[in-house]
Structure 1
Amino acid sequence: MDWSCSVITVSPQIPNYEILDEVAEGGMAKVFKARQTLADRIVAIKIISPAICLNKEFRQRFIQEAQITAKLNHPNIIQIYDIAPFEDTFFISMEFMEGGSLTERIRSGRLTRDESTRIILQLAEAMNYAHKLGYIHRDIKPGNILFRADDTPVLSDYGIAKSLYHRGDLTTTGSILGSPPYMSPEQAMGRQLDHRADWYSLGIVFYQMLTGAVPFEATDPISLGIKHKQEPPPPLPSHLRMYQQLMDLLLAKEPERRLSSLDEFRAHLEAIKNVPVDTEATCLFTVESLKTAHGESAAQESPTSTRRTERGGSVSSGVWRALGVVLMIAAVVGYGAYKNMTRPAPTYPFVVVTEPVGATVTFAGEEGAYTPGASLPEGDYEVEVTAKGFWPKTFTLNHSADHRSHYVSLKPAKTAFTVDVTPADAKIRILNIQPKYEEGIPLDPGRYLLEVSAPGYEKLTRWTEISGEQFTEQVFLVEKDALESLNIAFVDIPGGKYRMGFDDGGVLWGGDPGQEVTLAPFKIMAYEVTFEQWDACVADGGCTNKADDRGWGRGRNPVISVSWNDAEEFAAWLSVKTGRSFQLPTEAQWEYAARAGSRKRFSWGDQISHKFANYGKDDCCGGLVNGADKWQFTSPVGSFPANQWGVHDMHGNVWEWVQDCWSESMKGVPADGSARTAGDCRRRVLRGGSWYSPPKSMQLVSRDANGVDVRYQVNGFRLVETPTQAPAAGAATQ
């Protein structure tokens, strides 16, 4: 919006604001104290000045100030409430600062060293926050530093701020904006700026807070800019010498050598905080004051004038003359002794600034305990620096009049942590940290909860204490039983006698009265083989068919789409892996284990129920969700109650392959319960029904058959293990 300009009245009438007083007038705008009536709060109203209103660039800066400041949300940056048009111009409504400006506090001469440190650190935090968001201030000075009623310092006036992330800028190349006493050398020269320019300006402000004056003064901006570029700042007074190294870093001419890190700045202030005032500053009579007393100053004072001591008192000229006489007498009397004296070596405050802040500093030699700010002669000093979480280090520090504050930095004590584990493919987790384990992961020294697991091995969980630059933990996992690792459980089936293919309902197999079979004890899987177990066989190279789960889920779901030949592969693989002998059950074993002593149509009784099995529609065929049967297709193994002998899912879920060749008749069933090898061996028997089957296919005597290579989504299997010993005495009879 390009507003035209008009004269600002003494008390402008702005809707929703009651003007209370005019508080300031700057080069760009007038500032009024006002009450925002609807919000019922005191605010500052800043209205663009008529003198610069016609200048489009300055109008844009006025808008930019509000837009930038509104994006900055920090306790030490002024808050913007509103920006809106007013008559032929516009205004900014912002937080009203009742505590005045830093300029006023510096002029009062009442800023203490601690107070100056508190203020400058908060301003540095605000400045650093703005830098992280991509904005440099470019005009940091005492006049732009205000105070709230609670004494909180606040950075204001982002009118000439610059975005670090956008090339579009109101300042053309070579133009100079800012306040000359506080400009960095690169700003004074009109060069490209970054955040380091603000750190220089902050250093000038800090210098002025400590001393009461800026380090450079000149009669015109050009001369002042040259001083910023070429002249070193005057050294700090002796009682502020502990700040000298920090000030040198802040006011470095080259940006790349300038301190521009908030952490480093904070570390310097922390180290300086407890340094006592230099005793040299408390000396009543200095060499310069004695020269003045003897008439050696360039501008002589009258005999009746008084002179100021460094402590601020006054001493008459007569006293100075008397003191001169005393010193002359003392010089004559003590001259002979003086000739034989060795003049004491000069001493300077010794300060070690550490990163991290608060690290412990001790002398490695015989200098005694380290005390921040203690006066020491020039020379090299070895100090040992330690801090929790960092590697200790010994530094040799050259101490002199020009190097009194020494910055040292420790490396974080990260330990390269490695787990040397057997087996090598084990999975490793560190449970009490978020980062994922990788070989050589850098960790802080300390205790870590380690979890190591691998298929076929007992999981290990234990705490380990790591230290040093490198640490290797040796782990040997204990191999567990192969069946346990695969979550395969077997149920012991007692030996016994029963009539196969017959129940209390009468003859069921093509007019055959059934066949009496006597079985030796054996073991049968409590559940059908799952995808989890099948996938382990595939991964180990024992099974070739990856088996399609049809999108119904793997894991604990029964494996489907496996042929009779596939089931034989799995049995052979598991036998080799465990050193035991497993095979598909015979038809006689399967029915015997499914009955669990029952002579009913189903192991639980004569009535079919979805409470006990996963099966299909009554009128054939297709999956059905009904009551406890929550699955349209296969259900996870063990989802229904086991029979009396602890075997699950013998009815429904999936048809189960058995060893026997197919035959329509009961004739020829071996009386010892072994597999029938006569008949059509290109087809093998399936028992138990599936999720797809109607109720009649769920009966204990129901049978089906498929070719040995057929892979249907309704077919699965389970295995048995037959002991080699003879049947136990007292076998059960069904």
Structure 2
Amino acid sequence: MALQIPGYRVVRKINQGGMSTVYLAIQISVGRVVALKVMNPQLNNDPAFSERFQREATIVGQLSHPNIVAIYDIGRHEDLNYIAMDYLPNGSVHDRMSTGLTGEEVLRVIREVASALDHAHEKGYVHRDIKPENILFRTDNSAVLSDFGVARGVSANSRMTHVGTVVGTPHYMSPEQTKGNNVDGRSDLYSLGIVFYEMLTGSLPYQGEEAVTIALKHISAPIPKLPLQYLAYQKILDKLLAKDPEQRFQRGRDLIQAIDELEKNFHTPLTSSVHPTDLTVIALARALVNATVHALRWRWNKLRALRWSPERGFYARPSSKITEIFFNEGQSSIHSQRTQIATRVNGALDEKHTHHKKLAVGFLLVVALLGLGVWWNKGLQDISPAETIATNSAANNTTNNTSNPAQVSNTQATTPFAGAQPVATAALPMANDSGDGSAMAAVDMTSGNLAVESSAAASSEPLITFALQVKTVPAQARVRVLNIPERYQPGMQLPPGSYHLEVSHPGYDMQRSWVEITDQDLSPSFTLNQSLKPGEAMSSELVAAIKSQGPEMVRIPSGSFLMGHKDTVTAMPVHKVTINKAIAMSKYEITFDDYDIFAQATNRALPSDNRWGRGNRPVINVNFEDARAYAKWLSETTGKKYRLPTEAEWEYVARANSKSLFWWGDDVKDAAGRANCRRGCNSKFSGLFGAKTAPVGSYPANAFGIYDTAGNVAEWVEDCFADNYNLHPKNGQALLIKNCDARVVRGGSAKDNAERLASHIRDYHHAEIFDSHLGFRVVMDL
């Protein structure tokens, strides 16, 4: 029997769920097409479901926004509760993801939903169930937020709809929502961030077989990274998915403003048409190989075009195709000519190979072709039947530290007779008596005259160089300069610049380090440590060194301080803590040099250094249990009592008797030159696409003589995490609770902005989590 509801003509069923069924219907009184949502009659006896059904109509009825579903009627017929609302025929975000969404479409949807949320939050309501199925589309493809069934007022006192039950969909719930805490509009923005990631990548960032597993990942797992073609969106995603609500966008309008600024800064499309699965390593490698083949083919065709005759000597056979594609008529500057060459090369290849129009492959083509051009053909000139090609050798790469200064050639063009066009020469490498390949053959392409001149004679100005003499222990260690092609020779002459040195020797740990040549000779020293193979017993000398030294420690006097901050929820209440006895804390964060000995001695896997370097950089990618195990091993090896610091001890040392936000004062701008962080520290270890750790001690110590308590890596401490200090001990001991899942981390890291380096700022991770910006230090009981 067909569904009968007075005032409506039901056409067909659209969708069905456990709580309700949605029908396409016509509201007879006004002839309006509506979606008729009818609650499952079997749920009538459950007051919670009836309340939720009624709440949706009540809340949406108070919201009037083009991107929020509209409610036209609510009623009950016999045992059927129903709501008449907007009919949205173009499916949901979930449906659209199956066919793929462009980056521009995703931004539009996020902007419209953010506008809807801003309106709802302003009216005092939190949606609490943002997910792809609840974002629908009108016929004009505008996004509409629906299903306010679990929405609550911001001022509601209850954390949950039912005692012990957290409301929401686990894959999209914010960290505070998963823990059952009170939530506000920022929780919805976190959920929207999950939808943002899913729309761009087609997958969820945090997955697991059980809801608890997923919830823990929302609480402690690192923020996911977007694929290469969506790199411009990463900053927005990072702020949407910040674990701390204070670090997120505070309102929907803030998110909209960030999107506007992003689009304003990028006048070209922010994404390519390449599907994420196209950007595999194999695909990128294939594109690079193709680009190289095209460049080599072009060079081969140029060489094939060379001709020689007794009358003319070497000359280039006219080729209208080559001239049209690669050169501009008339004279032009080198800069403009390179631009024209790159543009025309791309145009010609696009016509021949349409699949290279994809942005990622096109970018690789430009890089490969320009790179080969700089290497082989630095100074391209115009070509015509009466003119010849001018080629400057790869020696110009010297200014980029990619060739030997002795290979510089700057062959000048000559004019054989008055009124003639400038005659260019092609500089071709030849072997000379010294065997260093520094002589160049200058070929006059018009007259055929061949002259050989040394690079020293051709250079217009002498290149200033300085000697690099690397001292090593052991003395026979191999030295390489990784960022230049020349083999290292003791005392080799190099121009001023940065050089990446690698020192290695069989049986020793390799070391890499950057050095800077400025205005004098440089003689850096390297002392290699003997390698310890997994399972190999430590030598008596190494054991003695550890027993006598261990990590360098600094004595910290006893004392009292005010812990926390009055304006930070997780650091409240501010309370007095007394450290009753002196301790010693490691002067630096535990380094790879420290940790690798422990890992090898205990047959543990060596943690990854993220390709940032090991040695005296802080150890990273270690979880809480790894850090605790290191302290235990150090205690057993040295006979002294090492452990992780408590949270109170850590803040006491970080403050170093200061009462300001940072150990250096209250001004966040003063972080520059004092810490390694992503924004605000002016750190040389922070770049356009991320930040890496700095060698320990690269920045000043605080008043206690402890380094890197602000930035570099966040540090594990012993305490279990609680979202306030109500239960925190006042004597400096650790807060330990039963079934402790999350542990506190302190200090901020290189990926944080300077504001997150304040001494009171707290964060937390699951004990099993390891991260490239997470390390630790130790204390020793005296």
Task: Identify the structure with the greater helix proportion.
Answer: 2
User: How does the TM-score come out when normalised to structure 2?
Assistant: 0.37
User: How does the TM-score come out when normalised to structure 1?
Assistant: 0.39
**Which of these two proteins has the greater Rg computed from alpha carbons?**
1
Task: Identify the structure with the greater strand proportion.
Answer: 1
